[in-house]
Structure 1
Amino acid sequence: MDVVAKVKNGERIGMDEALALYELDLFTLGRLADERRKVLHEKKTYFNINRHINPTNVCKDVCKFCAYSASRKNPNPYTMPIEEIVTTAKKAYEHGAKEVHIVSAHNPDAGIEWYLGMFKSIKEALPDIHIKALTAAEINFLSEEYNLDIDEILDSMVENGVDSMPGGGAEIFDEKIRDYICKGKVSSQKWLEIHRKWHERGKKSNATMLFGHIESRAHRIDHMLRLRNLQDETGGFNCFIPLVYQRENNFLKVESFPTGQEILKTMAVSRLVLDNIPNLKAYWATATINLALIAQEYGANDLDGTIERESIQAAAGAGSAHGMPLEDFIHLIKDSGFIPVERDSLYNELKVWR
């Protein structure tokens, strides 16, 4: 049976079939992914009203793809006081944000009280806001830096008001690739273990994949299959987010970058391989808003959110520094032929624009 027939029959595909999907012409592959998307979400495209906060760029690690951490390419270190972080969250809440998405660097000088204290302070000031915070990479860093068990940190996160985990730090799971692009960062096995433990606490998380640098298609598919295996066990992933590598201001020497066609194929393959993760996000901050909207026809059903402000991807050239106005989001989705749906952080529908 060929891979097209297998997909249409709803059968699970493996490495060889997924590689064969990449060899299909773009429109055939797109139709397969779009059919799967429509079964799950019809013509709905989800977004949320959120605020990204990046509290520090001081980092003990030197990932070659990173343009955000303070280094000779970004010689402006900062660490926000907790009061400033809370004030930022309050302003976002006043502007309608229902989620704060907090990701920062691995700052050895900030202290565990700073990392966890900001969540407690935000929750005390804004008990209704959803806090999505601490990547598995940050959790691993805190565990090593302060000699704490992963379980202790996860329990403290829950106690201090963290509601869900973002999917950052996954990059590409292949350890040879990791050794080159982010040596010393959380291992793939540990990343998966941290998310497993978080899911065991009844909490949800997202999963990312950084692609378009030195990895192969097979590396991407291996990454997806490992996530699918964990999702079979826990059911804890809300969303998969393929992040397009941003090329500016970093130390990773990449000669060729993925075409729009390769990005769309990766979105479509993700939708077909990850049959147990309900949502696929075309994160407009890395894919550009135009390509992210086109990706809604290639399996994606989510764009992330209004963001308001974002520093990590923007430092490497993404157009996300000042977010996206809500009205623009709604009009762009409608003009693309989809139904805009505001969601909360756990994909409960809040408002549908017909």
Structure 2
Amino acid sequence: MLDIKWYEKLGMGSICEKVLEGQRLDMEDGERLFACPDVVAVGSLAHHVRTRLHGNAAYYVINQHINYSNICVNGCRFCAFHRKKGQKGAFQLTETDVLDKLKEREHDPITEVHIVGGCHPDLPLSYFETILREVKKFRPKAFIKAFTAVEIAHFAKNEGISTREVLLRLKSAGLDMLPGGGAEVFSPRVRTLLCPEKLSGEGWLNVSREAHRLGIKSNATMLYGHIETVRERLEHLVALRELQDETQGFVCFIPLSFQTANNQVQGVSGCTGVEDLKTMAVSRLMLDNVPHMKAYWVMLTVKLAQVALYFGADDFDGTIIEEKIGHMAGADSDQALTRGELEQIIREGGFEPVERNCFFERV
């Protein structure tokens, strides 16, 4: 049980009362939480909410990540993954290449195939439809979580059709869910400085809204720890919360700690572990209508992700197998974890490992 006297001494008694009563926090509450010098106090509030929602369960998934190309027209300043066409290090998988990657893991009990890539200038929508159909043919029981809202908008622009038509065609080809990437921070100021060519924050929300209305659920993310302010983080979280009130389409939120290597953002040293844990906790507290919070071990490291389970996170992601985006930006975590390793990490953290699919249905 939370000790309200402790929070009163910290000047956060009213926030503690709201959490205990299940009331919604406002922007000012969020600012006070970020300003609180006691990260354990903030974490305890988030852990109270996490336990109320999920008990002692910590979820994981047997999944496979496939990045089909890093060729991208956007050129985001913070991105170490993207390359221009013809540039050294650029790659593009053929439909056969994607199938070969699936075959490499054909004996693994994978329930989720995660597919994302850069906004390629030339690939037609039919390329992506073919990939979805081939994945479904090879793994008929697996769910496909593919293409961020940014990619969906890019496909529509390339094809000269609406994002709604893109979503309908991809759904018909086998798409089950959208991942949450590309949200970054919605602030127009930040996007003007770091990713001016990218889909706007409002555009990201609109594509997500459209997907939800078509019955396609999605995740949501926030890339933090670069040039954004605390207020801009909170505005991002509130925008997600408002859309979730409207659609109930977000399944999981993933705070992504900015990786500092191999990009054009200067003078940023990256987040400390304390900042990562506090951001996870505040996200859990502000996003009262999003059921799940992910500790993405690829960017947090396995050890900090394990601790994050006490700061509001209830999901440890999964086996991953081959992740390029975070690692090209300097993430020094492993490329993959086995089921046994995931369950051991979760148990050693004091939680019950629960295998899930992308919709958090128990496997």
Give, in whole Å, the separation in 1 of the partners of 2:185 and 2:176. Answer: 25
Match for residue 261 of structure 2? 248
> What are the residue-to-residue correspondences of 1:186-205 with 2, within 5 Å?
186-205=199-218
Match for residue 257 of structure 1? 270
> What are the residue-to-residue correspondences of 1:108-127 with 2, within 5 Å?
108-127=121-140
Match for residue 78 of structure 1? 91
The one-letter code of the counterpart of 1:146 is E
Shift of 1:98: 1.1
Give, in whole Å, the separation in 2 of the partners of 1:112 and 1:71. Answer: 20
The one-letter code of the counterpart of 1:283 is Y
Query: 1:309–1:320: 8 Å Cα contact kept in structure 2?
Result: no
Q: Number of residues paired by the alignment?
A: 349
Shift of 1:96: 1.6
Give, in whole Å, the separation in 1 of the partners of 2:335 and 2:268. Answer: 29
Match for residue 4 of structure 1? 16
The one-letter code of the counterpart of 2:199 is V
Query: 1:280–1:302: 8 Å Cα contact kept in structure 2?
Result: yes
Match for residue 39 of structure 1? 52
Query: 1:310–1:320: 8 Å Cα contact kept in structure 2?
Result: no
Query: 1:93–1:129: 8 Å Cα contact kept in structure 2?
Result: no
Match for residue 21 of structure 1? 33
> What are the residue-to-residue correspondences of 1:149-298 with 2, within 5 Å?
149-298=162-311
Gaps of 5+ in 2: 1-12
1:300-345, CA deviations, whole angstroms, 9 ceiling, x for partnerless residues?
Answer: 0011111011111110111356211221111111111111111011
Which stretch shifts more, 316-325 or 260-269?
316-325
Give, in whole Å, the separation in 2 of the partners of 1:110 and 1:202. Answer: 26
Query: 1:103–1:133: 8 Å Cα contact kept in structure 2?
Result: yes
Q: 1:310 to 1:320 in 2, by over 3 A?
A: farther
Give, in whole Å, the separation in 1 of the partners of 2:200 and 2:334. Answer: 29
1:254-277, CA deviations, whole angstroms, 9 ceiling, x for partnerless residues?
Answer: 333221111111110001100000
Query: 2:295–2:314: 8 Å Cα contact kept in structure 1?
Result: yes
Gaps of 5+ in 1: none
Give, in whole Å, the separation in 2 of the partners of 1:129 and 1:319. Answer: 29
Query: 1:281–1:301: 8 Å Cα contact kept in structure 2?
Result: yes
Please give the TM-score of this superposition, normalised by the length of structure 2: 0.93
Give, in whole Å, the separation in 2 of the partners of 1:170 and 1:299. Answer: 21
Which stretch shifts more, 5-14 or 306-315?
5-14
Shift of 1:112: 2.0
Give, in whole Å, the separation in 2 of the partners of 1:50 and 1:124. Answer: 17
Q: 1:49 aligns with which of 47, 62, 74?
A: 62
Query: 2:294–2:315: 8 Å Cα contact kept in structure 1?
Result: yes
Q: 1:337 aligns with which of 350, 353, 358?
A: 350
Counterpart secondary structure, 2:60 = strand
Give, in whole Å, the separation in 1 of the partners of 2:138 and 2:317. Answer: 25
Query: 2:78–2:264: 8 Å Cα contact kept in structure 1?
Result: yes
Counterpart secondary structure, 1:11 = coil
Give, in whole Å, the separation in 2 of the partners of 1:9 and 1:245. Answer: 34
Match for residue 133 of structure 1? 146
Which stretch shifts more, 293-302 or 87-96?
87-96
Shift of 1:291: 0.6
**Identity over aligned pairs, percent:** 39
The one-letter code of the counterpart of 1:279 is H
Give, in whole Å, the separation in 1 of the partners of 2:281 and 2:22. Answer: 15
Give, in whole Å, the separation in 2 of the partners of 1:320 and 1:194. Answer: 31
The one-letter code of the counterpart of 1:163 is D
Give, in whole Å, the separation in 2 of the partners of 1:121 and 1:349. Answer: 25
Counterpart secondary structure, 1:173 = coil
